[in-house]
Amino acid sequence: MQNRLETLDSILDRLRTSIRKNGLKNSKQREEIISVLYKSGTHLSPEEIASEIKTKDKTTSISSVYRILSFLEKENFITALEADKSGRRYEIAAKDHHDHIICLHCGEITEFVDPEIERLQIKVAHEHNANLISHNMKLFVICQKCQKIKP
């Protein structure tokens, strides 16, 4: 996981501002989900988020988790990642931009940034007369541990 750019409190402040800006109302569930994602530091599935919140005594429903995740993604508080066929996983957006290395054997997810690749992606888009909005890059690998297990 990379450096946090922002404290949890600061993110929650921005969340409240965003809620007001959209004419919405506060809810503890939204803050809970941000909190869980911030503290976990990993890439969690909606089910994992729901059960994490449930351990803290709340009876949060999975449908609310999905609804809130959509909102938080739209407002750029979190980002989604499709590591495999099992559905989306989410992580807090308050980190540096990064891409993912995914081990095909154990599923481990590592983050990385290569400034040179980032630069070249913008160049490629321009060469196609297009305006780069975002990108999605996943490197599928066999990690060091799994190379030892399965030589």
Local structure of residue 106 (DSSP, 8 states):
T
Backbone phi, psi, residue 143, to 5°: -75, 170
CB of 128 to DNA, least distance (A): 26
Q: Does residue 142 belong to the site contacting a copy of itself (CB under 8 A)?
A: yes
To the nearest whole angstrom, how small is the minimum distance from the Cβ of residue 122 to a copy of itself? 9
Contacting a copy of itself (CB under 8 A), which of 8, 12, 101, 109? Answer: 101
Site for DNA in 17-76 (CB under 7 A): 19, 23-30, 45-46, 58-64, 66-68, 70
Partner in contact with 68, chosen from a copy of itself, DNA, none, beta carbon below 5 to 8 Å by kind: DNA
Number of other residues whose CB lies within 10 A of the CB of residue 45 = 15
End-to-end CA distance of the chain: 28
Handedness of CA 43, 45, 46, 49 (dihedral sign): negative
Q: Which of a copy of itself, DNA, none has residue 112 at its interface (CB below 5 to 8 Å by kind)?
A: a copy of itself
Interface characters, 118-137, with a copy of itself (x: CB under 8 A): --xx--xx--xxxxxxxxxx
Count of other CB atoms within 10 angstroms of residue 54: 13
**Is 31 annotated to bind ligand?**
no
How many angstroms separate the Cα of 150 from the Cα of each of 47, 88, 109, 141? 31, 28, 19, 13
Beta bridge pairs of residue 92: 78
Interface residues with DNA (CB under 7 A) are 19, 23-30, 45-46, 58-64, 66-68, 70, 85-88
Instruction: Tell me the binding residues for Fe cation.
Output: 97, 99, 118, 135
